[in-house]
Amino acid sequence: MATAEVLAPLDPPGGQPSARRRGPLSPLVRYLLLRLALLIPMIWVLVTMVFVLMRVIGDPIQAALGGRLTAEQIAERKADAGLDRPILTQYWEYISGLFRGDFGTTLTDNRKVSDILVVNGAATLELAFWSLLVAFAVGIPLGRLAARYRDRVPDVLLRLFSILVYAAPVFFVGLLLKLAFTPFGWPSSGRASIATELTLQDVHPRTNIMIVDAILWGDPALIGDVLKHAMLPAIALGLLTGGVFLRLVRVNLLQTLRMDYVTAARARGISERRVMNKHAFRNALVPVVTVMGMQVALLLGGAILTETTFEWKGLGYQLSEYLIRRDFLAVQGIVTVIALIVGAMSFLIDVIVAFVDPRVRF
Amino acid sequence: MSIRLPGVVTQSHGLQRFMLLLGFGLVFLFVFVAIFAPWLAPYDFNADRAGGVVFGTQQGPSADHWFGTTVGGTDVLSRVIYGARTAVEVIVLAVVLSGVVGVPLGLVSGYLGGWLDRVLVLVMDALYAFPSLLLAIVVSIVLSGGNSSAFGGILAAAISITVVFVPQYYRVIRNATLSVKAEPYVDAAKVVGVRTPRILRKHIFSNVSSSLPVIGTLNASEAILTLAGLGFLGFGIEPSAAAEWGYDLNKALPDASSGVWWTGVFPGLAIVLIVLGATLVGESLNDILNPLLRTRGADTSEADQAEIEREFDTLRSAHGRPQAASLGPDTESKTESSEEKRVAALSLTDLAVSFRTDAGQVRAVKGISFDVAPGEVVAVVGESGSGKSVSSRAVLGLLPSTAEVSGSARLGDRDLLGLSNRSLRPLRGDRVSMVFQEPATALNPVYTVGWQIIEGLQAHRKISKKAARARAVELLEMVGMPDPEERVGYYPHQLSGGQKQRVVIAMAIACDPDVIIADEPTTALDVTVQASILELLLSLRERLGTAIVLITHNMGVVADMADRVVVMYRGSIVEQAPARELFATPRHPYTRALLDAVPHLGRSHGPGLVDPGNDVVLRVDDLVVEFPGRLGQPAFRAVDHVSLEIRKGEVLGLVGESGSGKSTVGRTAVGLQQPTSGTIDVSGHRVSGLSDRQLRTMRSRFGFVFQDPASSLNPRMSIGQCIAEPLHVQTDMTQSQIDTKVAELLDSVELGGGYAERFPHELSGGQRQRVSLARALSLDPDLLIADEPTSALDVSVQARVLELFGELQQRLQFACLFISHDLAVVDTLANRVAVMQHGRLVEIGDREQVLGHPQEEYTQRLIAAVPVPDPLEQARRRAARATIA
């Protein structure tokens, strides 16, 4: 998903001269409202797609419970779940449920999807946070280094590195990490040791984000245990995303470095370090941020694999469990939630872009 | 692809080539293994025994099992080999399928636009934003009916992956289509009535398709990863049906904790290597093919160089006196300059610049010497490729690292050349500063102009932020920025082009430099804005006593500004002299030819009026064209109630500054743009309001010549094909008749028949514009619209093209709407002149009357602002202009 974006950097927005302040709304507000308005059809398409696909699969009750229950019991369960009603009525139920924050209930273990979101979503959020940390730490400095030494040894090595981390599936990297670290007794599955998890059951208020819970509890040993567990999954997923960031930063920096305003800044006697930081890098950030936003999808996709590899009980792990159990009501709920997260992220990115690029604001 | 690859390989070099070849090697290795899997693999992928002997589970690598055995007791090596077969099959299918679906969708959606495009974009963006692996899982479940039966295993996996990648093809192809669609050669095809399917095929697809190998290979590598991910999660191909690396890795995961490494490492490495191969191929192709990533070449092509040289030779033989024909630096001026040396602000001696390129050393500047005294304006003039910009950048050390510079550039008592970047930096912007050609790109868009001025100040002076800001406001005031207190906080995009250039100048004078190098400072600006910027530069010279090196191709600007002129030709100085002397008695034949080639407003004896009894060919009546505004913005009215007529054999010059709507009038006249209201008749037939289909039969009545010769010819069609296209589309001529006609047309624009086989990139700008002219005239049109046909050409080339144009017009007697911003050009060939401003027709009438005795105040201002190539006359005009303004 990343490659096409890395290779075809987006055009910077704008280009047309000065739109003077007009109308009662500031341009920033108008821009954000417009973005929000564009988001609605996108989310609608996504959730409708999920609904349609889930109905195409067939009867969810039959798929999940067929063979274990009698035909009558199945019919009863169907009526309970409202699945015997016309498809449009079900669609209406589904959509109006979304507005109430009701994503449905799982078939196999009768959990509310919103509960899954609170518990497992928190785990995925935590994993995403750690791996983004790794990705930024790897991608940005190395990308700048590669751009600076374009076509020389560091650049070539870094590009090979970025292709390698991209070429290695996250579960293979996970497997290698496990092979390398388990001999030293390093924890390589789960979010914390069982003892820690049991202790943290009693934290109030409980956030389900292990590191926050551990800090709230205040025991350094627990914090260390949580961090240790997070390290391998964060590296596996972070390297994947970091490789993409590296190339993204490199390509966009190379493009801004050849802009006239960079030459102009040099001609004014601005120091090379400042030219790099203030003129080239800041401008390169606009497309970088936009594409990073799209990486959220990659991150979520990677999270499914990473979570399965490391038994990290997040949304992806839970989703693949339900998929194996053919619990399609659960799948529908979780996938809908993911669609909403993707939508929300893309709006968040628009906001960030507005703050990086004044042409959007004025 | 196989035909292109050798070319691609030869275009690459060094490390790039190594990576490309490594990639190909890996890909071919896996394809080979895939094809010959049954012969290469020692056992079947599902066999756990051979000859009745059970392999045993989780056996380490041995002579019988090189890669060991799995937890299921099968041979790892055999599974890896058969896995390659599965992977290659799925990928080839997936890439082909997604290309077959995505490419046409992208083409049609991008080209046709409208609601179809909007809906497709929405759906594709939604698909694209969604986690791809998740999508593939859901689709694979849908396809296999909810339980992973062996439903066409490979095909199901391929389709799941296809759904994921269609949006990528769609997006890339749609974007490419959108940008190609805006190219003038697509308009050129539309003007002659080429049908949409042909445009899509011949003009758009052929140009878009160059990106396909890149997306194809890159998607292949992503497809492998997706397939592996599906297999890993257990949603891939049924394990009994095919060997699959991802599935094997999943099974190997528990082994990792118990130290069994071979079950996971080998299939994992296989994935890494095949993805590495495909990615290396894709990225190398992209590096080589993507013009965005290519290092910037010379500004002018070899063909352009050759053209200027040819013009030079013909002009020299026409004017030539043998003793003056030598190219070396002028000896007289050298003695003159040595007297000034003591006071020179900047002094160049034997400055030479050469670039290392793949084709070897290219000498851009061949040893030039000149001085600038404090308070003096020295103009460096020359056509493209003369080395005028390169030499000025060399002074500040701003050339790319491939440049080699020798000679000396003394600033006071210091030689700038040979200084390291570190020691040069304090001098840049402080003692020598630069003004750039394009103010829109010379300012950083993400900072306010005040921030950028302050940054420059603080780089050279110990000055507080507050004091620097005060100084920035003062500077903006000095360069005539209205309301400087407020505008200091503006971002560049909030200012007009002229105001931006004022900011650039403010930055240049911020530290009171000894020398300002102004590189084409007004070329990107309208003529009235140009006049005020030149005024500003002169007044700054008076007030600050700064020496100015003015690099320009515009002889009018030279006459207006310069004390002394340095004429450059192909990297050497051919003549330098005080301005008045140079214009009055040019000594070198090149200078003389250059001055002769410059059209001079008010001095030409252009054509008179045509017979008023001639038929009216173009009648534009009360034309209004509006472009819809973006959400919440009012519509923009580009053309506002314009009426005009052109008769047979008549040239109407339509002049105006940028944004005046002059091009829109031309585009509307040939149906490239629909009018909002008003009518257009060509030879008595109504053309406005017709659909494309209805208009098609009318198309043979008009031709169109576009501004940019580089982009108005399809780069993938030969010159002969370009000229023949209107004939193919509009006539029933046989191929041999068409060939004859093309040869005739090429002859008529003074290009030999040999040009028919060449491609546009092999031609110079002037030659390409001749080809455009030949194409526009191929159907013997009644009406020719020429939109700035010569503004991208050098003056000597422009002179020849205009001459040819005039001859053809006289001979063929077509009516012509000649659109130009250059009043002097219009003055040489128009019978009548129309002036536009802000979409309105300000004045229309006989050439002599409009350009000689303008009635309207705007026309007067416009004409007064045009600098003429004569210092004495220009001084008079400058004085006169002061009274108008």
Tokens of B83: 């896995």
Cis before B599? omega within 30: no
Residues of chain B with CATH 1.10.3720.10: 33-290
Q: How far apart are the two ends of chain B, measured CA to CA in Å?
A: 63
> Whats the size of chain B, residue-wise?
885
Is the predicted pLDDT of residue A133 greater than 80, yes or no?
yes
Cross-chain residue pair B130–A56, CB shorter than 8 Å? no
Question: How does B545-564 read in b/e, with b if 16+ C-beta sit within 10 Å?
Answer: ebbbbbbbbbbbbbbbbbbb
Asked if the C-beta of A33 comes within 8 angstroms of chain B's C-beta atoms, the answer is: no
Chain B residues within an 8 Å CB radius of A172 = 249, 264, 268, 271-272
Which of A5, A7, A159, A164 has the most B C-beta neighbours within 10 Å, making it the best mutation to test the interface with B?
Answer: A7
In sequence order, the β-bridge partners of residue B348 are: B370, B409
Q: Is A15 exposed, middle or buried (0-12, 13-18, 19+ CB in 10 A)?
A: exposed
**Res B289: pLDDT:** 67
Do residues A60 and A107 lie in contact, with contact meaning Cβ atoms separated by under 8 Å? yes
Cα torsion through B332, B335, B336, B341, rounded to 10: 150
CB B535 within 8 Å of CB B502: no
Distance CA B592, CA B453 (A): 42
DSSP letter for each residue of B373-412 = -TT-EEEEE--TTSSHHHHHHHHTT-S-TTEEEEEEEEET
What pairs with residue B819 in β-bridges? B654, B787
Instruction: Tell me which residue in A254, A263, A268 faces B459 most closely, judged by beta carbons.
Output: A268
The confidence score (pLDDT) of residue B314 equals: 67
Token pair 């007030």 is found at: B543
- Tell me the two tokens of residue B696: 């098609």
Of B131, B280, B459, the CB nearest to A163: B280
Distance between CA B875 and CA B873 in Å, rounded? 5
Any idea which fold B616-714+779-854 has?
Rossmann fold (3.40.50)
Query: Environment class of residue A355 by beta-carbon count within 10 Å: exposed (0-12), middle (13-18) or buried (19+)?
Result: exposed
Residues B291/A192, Cβ–Cβ less than 8 Å: no
Q: Are B365 and B352 in contact (CB under 8 A)?
A: yes
Looking at domain A113-356, its CATH architecture is Orthogonal Bundle (1.10)
Q: Enumerate the domain spans of chain A.
A: 113-356
DSSP state of B43: S
Question: What does the DSSP assignment read for A54-92?
Answer: HHHH--HHHHHHBTTB-HHHHHHHHHHHTTTS-HHHHHH
Q: Which residues pair with B647 in a beta bridge?
A: B616
Question: What would you report as the CA-atom Rg of chain A, rounded to the nearest whole angstrom?
Answer: 24
pLDDT (tens digit, 9 = 90+) per residue, B597-646?
Answer: 888 887 767 777 888 888 899 999 999 999 886 656 678 888 999 999 99
Lowest mean pLDDT: which of B299-308, B583-592, B594-603, B665-674?
Answer: B299-308
Read off the pTM: 0.80
As given in the structure block, the two tokens for residue A31 are 């821009």
State both tokens at A245. 């960031």
Say what angle helices A220-257 and A210-217 make with each other, to 10 degrees. Answer: 130
State yes or no: pLDDT of A232 exceeds 70.
yes
Q: What pLDDT, on a 0 to 100 scale, did the predictor assign at position B500?
A: 92
Q: Is A188 on the interface with B (CB under 8 A)?
A: yes
Distance from C-alpha of B336 to C-alpha of B338, rounded to nearest angstrom: 6
Q: Which of B233, B253, B448 sits opposite A175 (nearest CB)?
A: B253
Higher pLDDT: B566 or A90? It is B566
Share of chain B above pLDDT 90, in %: 25
Q: What is the pLDDT of residues B184-242, one digit of tens each?
A: 888 888 888 888 888 888 888 888 877 788 788 878 888 888 888 888 888 878 777 77
The residue type at B293: L
- pLDDT at B317 (0 to 100): 64
Kind plus residue range of the DSSP H or E element containing B262: helix B262-289
Angle (CA) B126 B131 B133, round 5°: 130
Contact check, Cβ <8 Å, A17/B265: no
Q: Find the mean pLDDT for residues B863-878.
A: 88
Q: Which residues of A touch B138 (CB under 8 A)?
A: 50, 53, 331, 335
Give A-chain residues touching B293 at CB under 8 angstroms: 251, 254
Could you read off the pLDDT of B520-559 as tens digits, one per residue?
898 888 888 888 889 889 888 888 889 999 999 889 999 9
Spatial separation of the C-alpha atoms in residues B843 and B642, rounded to whole Å: 11
More confident residue, B58 or B91: B91
Instruction: Kindly report the average pLDDT of chain B as a whole number.
Output: 84
Within 8 A of B398 by CB-CB distance, chain A residues are 263, 266-267
Q: Which helix (H) or strand (E) holds B50?
A: strand B49-50
Question: What residues have CB less than 8 Å from B657, skipping those under 6 apart?
Answer: B526, B527, B528, B821, B837, B862
Reference B625, options B609, B646, B641; nearest CA is B641
Q: Quick check: A264 and B252 CB within 8 A? A: no
Rounded to 5 degrees, what angle do the CA atoms A243, A248, A249 make? 100
Query: How far apart, in whole angstroms, are the C-alpha atoms of residue B26 and residue B333?
Result: 65
Q: What is the pLDDT of residues B143-159, one digit of tens each?
A: 775 444 444 677 778 88
Residues in CB range of A15: below 8 A, 6 or more apart: none
Q: Does A7 touch chain B (CB under 8 A)?
A: yes
For residue B336, what pLDDT is reported? 45
Residue A332: its chain B contacts at CB < 8 A?
none
**Measured between alpha carbons, how far is A61 from A75 in angstroms, rounded to an integer?**
9
Tokens of B540: 């700054």
Judged against a pLDDT cut of 70, whether residue A1 lies above it is answered with no
CA-CA distance, B471 to B458, in Å (whole number)?
Answer: 11
- Alpha-carbon distance of B1 to B95, in angstroms, equals 14
Q: Do B256 and A175 touch (CB under 8 A)?
A: yes
Query: CB A228: neighbour CB atoms within 10 A?
Result: 15
CB neighbour list of residue B848: distance below 8 Å, 6 or more residues apart: none
Window from B290-299, B473-482, B789-798 with minimum mean pLDDT: B290-299
- CA distance, residue B42 to nearest chain A CA (Å): 25
Q: Which segments of chain B belong to CATH 3.40.50.300?
A: 616-714+779-854
Among chain A residues, the shortest Cα distance to B495 is held by A18
Higher-confidence residue of B634 and B843: namely B843
Residues B156-170 have a mean pLDDT of: 84
Which positions ≥6 away from A118 have C-beta within 8 Å?
A: A208
pLDDT digits (tens, 9 = 90+) for B354-396: 888 766 778 889 889 999 999 899 999 988 778 888 888 888 8
What's B762's DSSP letter? G
Nearest CA among B161, B159, B178 for reference residue B228:
B161
Q: Which of B330, B797, B350, B396 is nearest to B567 (CA)?
A: B330
User: Quick one: average pLDDT of A40-61?
Assistant: 80
Whole-number Å distance between alpha carbons of B256 and A172: 11
Residue A20: per-residue pLDDT: 44
pLDDT at B800: 86
Each residue's pLDDT tens digit, B69-81? 887 778 888 888 8
| CA dihedral of residues B869, B873, B874, B880 (deg, nearest 10) | -150
Least confident of A6-15, A221-230, A290-299, B531-540: A6-15
A3: exposed, middle or buried (Cβ count in 10 Å: 0-12, 13-18, 19+)? buried
CA distances from B751 to B57, B300, B763 (A): 79, 21, 11
Burial readout B240-261 (b: 16 or more C-beta within 10 A, e: otherwise): ebbbbbbbbbbbbbebbeeebb
Q: What is the mean pLDDT of residues B52-68?
A: 78
Asked whether residue B578 carries a pLDDT value surpassing 90, the answer given is yes
Helix (H, G, I), strand (E, B) or coil at B363: strand
Report yes or no: B756 and B718 within 8 Å, Cβ to Cβ. yes
Mean pLDDT to the nearest integer, A61-75: 73
* Torsion angle, alpha carbons of B199, A16, A259, B387, to 10: 80
Question: Any chain B CB within 8 A of the CB of A150?
Answer: no
Measure the CA–CA gap between B146 and B154, rounded to whole angstroms: 17
The answer, yes or no, to whether residue B710 has pLDDT greater than 80, is: no
- The two beta strands, B564-569 and B377-381, are parallel
What distance in Å separates the CA atoms of residue B666 and residue B191, rounded to the nearest whole number?
Answer: 11
Highest mean pLDDT among A77-86, A175-184, B316-325: A175-184
Q: Which CATH number fits domain B33-290: 3.40.1410.10, 1.10.3720.10, 2.40.50.140, 3.40.50.300?
A: 1.10.3720.10
Q: Starting from the edge strand earliest in sequence, which strands make up the sheet with B651-655, in order?
A: B702-705, B783-787, B815-820, B651-655, B832-837, B840-846
- Contact list, B118 vs chain A (CB under 8 Å): none
pLDDT at B577 over 90: yes
**Pairs of residues, one from chain A and one from chain B, whose beta carbons lie less than 8 Å apart:** 270
Per-residue pLDDT averaged across B103-127, rounded? Answer: 87
Q: Is B182 helix (H, G, I), strand (E, B) or coil?
A: coil
Work out the average pLDDT over A150-175: 87
Is there a contact between B765 and B307 (Cβ–Cβ < 8 Å)?
yes
